[in-house]
Every structure is written in C-alpha cells, then in structure tokens.
C-alpha cells in the first residue's frame, strides 16, 4: 500500500524504493498475486513535485514500473480515488485494474511543463486505447473509471472487492500465469524489453510439462476445482 495520505499518496524516491522492495519480497516468496493500493483518500495523486527531476527519480520510477511486468505473479492495482500522473503509470504497469466508479485516471504533465517517457506513452496507449490515451496525454485531463470500464479498468469495485478478486486469481495455475506474462511482455512494443524468444518458449513449455497441467486436465474430467501447486 502506498501510505502517504498527508500527500494524497504522491510518490517520492523513498516510496518508489518501498515498492521495489515489495516486488523483491514477492519474487522471493510463494505469493501468487501482488495487490497495489493507496491509503485513503487517493490511490496516488502523482509524483511528489518537491523531489521530481530527471535522473535518479525518473530512472527509479521507470525501473519500478517495469518491475511489475518482470514478476511471474499477477499484479493487481486496487484504485480508490485519484490515480494521476505516477498513479496512472503505476496502475498501467500492473496486469489488472479494479477501481471504484468515481476514481479518476489522468496524466497532467502538460499542466506542469513536464513530459513522461516513451514506456509510459506506449503502455498507457496499449492498456487504455488510442483515444483515451491521447486525451489524457494531450489535454492533461482525467477520465472517470466508469468510462474506462472494459478497457483500462477491468472491474469496478473497492479495495475489499479487489482483495476478493485476488483470492480468486491466486487459484489459477502459476506456471501458466508466468508463461503468459513473459509472452505478453515479450511481444510488447515497449522499448527496453528483455524477454528473449527462448525465455518465452521455455516458460510456455514449463507450463505444458508441469504437474499442474496434469492436475488441470484431471480436475476438468472429474468436474472439480483444480489444486495448482506451481510445479
């Protein structure tokens, strides 16, 4: 959870390091879903402008954004309130997004004389679609989550709903998720991707040759819920 309510969860360098540490913890654990949320009253109102400058901050932010895609597990942004600037970037970096209907997404860089990086432009465009992305990037205005449902926003709901969805997602086959994430990242046009064809194929074959693949088919034939163990 982004926990700077007095700053409406605007992220500073310390916050970015904390998110990176959480990614590392997930990578070293047996967790199957990472949920990113913000303490009320916002998901993330952007970057803390007192410390935003080209260099360490922007490089760290980009590393954190790419870090969500590098995880083998599902990542879910639970958005309640404004998700602006870095908030939209963080939400876009996650695999899935649930938001309350009145939550808003936007990239107000044009109102600040700043510009986001190419990764962000491509990611927001891929996730939200050309028209909403152009609107957010070129006007600096935000869009309600209810308008983005079925595109950038996958489901409408609050943080508790997101946690319940995470419990459902945790029942899916981990090796399938890892393979599909690797391939999705690999076929993305975003620059700087480091997913080789060999890695994508290896991840796909790992799923096919797993005990979970046997369990999934057996459970289907026996008309019961599968019990996946990630091996």
Residue 189: pLDDT band with limits 50, 70, 90? low
Query: Residue 187's pLDDT is what?
Result: 83
Query: Residue 194's pLDDT is what?
Result: 66
Among the three residues 169, 194, 210, which one is the final residue of a domain in this structure? 169
Domain match, 192 and 126 both: no
* 227 domain residue, yes or no: no
* 231 domain residue, yes or no: no
* 31 domain residue, yes or no: yes
The answer on pLDDT for 103 being more than 70 is yes
The conformation of residue 101, written as its DSSP 8-state character, comes to: T
> Would strands 142-144 and 104-106 be described as parallel, antiparallel, or unpaired?
antiparallel
* 148 domain residue, yes or no: yes
What phi and psi values does residue 48 have, to the nearest 5 degrees?
A: -70, 105
* 155 domain residue, yes or no: yes
* 71 domain residue, yes or no: yes
Q: Which domain holds residue 111?
A: 5-169
Cβ(231)–Cβ(212) under 8 Å?
yes
Residue 74: pLDDT band with limits 50, 70, 90? very high
Q: Which long-range contacts (CB under 8 A, 24 or more apart) does 204-213 make?
A: 204/179, 206/175, 206/178, 206/179, 207/173, 207/175, 207/176, 207/178, 207/179, 210/173, 210/175, 212/173, 212/174, 212/175, 212/176, 213/173
Q: Considering its fold, how many domains does the chain have in total?
A: 2
Please state at what angle helix 211-221 crosses helix 197-208, rounded to 10 degrees.
50
Cβ(72)–Cβ(173) under 8 Å?
no
Average of per-residue pLDDT values in the chain: 94
The conformation of residue 51, written as its DSSP 8-state character, comes to: S
Domain match, 165 and 211 both: no
Cα–Cα distance for residue pair 91/44, rounded to 1 Å: 9
Domain match, 147 and 180 both: no
Please give the structure tokens belonging to residue 167: 């419990």
Cβ(39)–Cβ(9) under 8 Å?
yes
Query: Residue 60's pLDDT is what?
Result: 95
**How large is the average pLDDT for residues 108-127?**
94
Domain match, 64 and 129 both: yes
The conformation of residue 130, written as its DSSP 8-state character, comes to: H
Query: Residue 229's pLDDT is what?
Result: 94
Cβ(191)–Cβ(119) under 8 Å?
yes
Express each pLDDT in 29-60 by its tens digit: 999 999 999 999 999 999 998 866 778 999 99
């Amino acid at each position: 959870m982004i926990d700077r309510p007095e700053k409406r969860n605007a992220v500073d360098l310390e916050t970015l390091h904390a998110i990176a540490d959480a990614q590392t913890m997930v990578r070293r654990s047996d967790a199957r879903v990472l949920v990113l949320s913000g303490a009320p009253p916002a998901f993330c109102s952007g970057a803390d402008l007192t410390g935003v400058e080209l260099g360490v901050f922007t490089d760290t932010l980009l590393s954190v954004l790419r870090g969500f895609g590098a995880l083998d597990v599902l990542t879910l942004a639970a958005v309640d309130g404004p998700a602006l600037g870095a908030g939209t970037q963080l939400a876009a970096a996650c695999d899935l997004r649930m938001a309350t209907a009145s939550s808003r997404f936007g990239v107000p860089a044009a109102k600040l004389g700043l510009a986001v990086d190419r990764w962000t432009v491509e990611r927001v465009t891929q996730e939200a679609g050309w028209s909403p992305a152009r609107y957010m990037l070129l006007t600096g205005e935000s869009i309600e989550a209810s308008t983005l449902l079925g595109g950038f926003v996958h489901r409408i709901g609050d943080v508790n709903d997101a946690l319940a969805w995470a419990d459902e997602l945790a029942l899916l086959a981990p090796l399938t998720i890892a393979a599909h994430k690797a391939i999705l990242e690999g076929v993305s046009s975003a620059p700087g991707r480091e997913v080789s064809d060999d890695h994508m194929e290896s991840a796909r074959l790992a799923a096919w040759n797993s005990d979970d693949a046997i369990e999934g088919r057996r459970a289907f034939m026996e008309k019961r819920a599968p019990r996946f163990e990630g091996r």
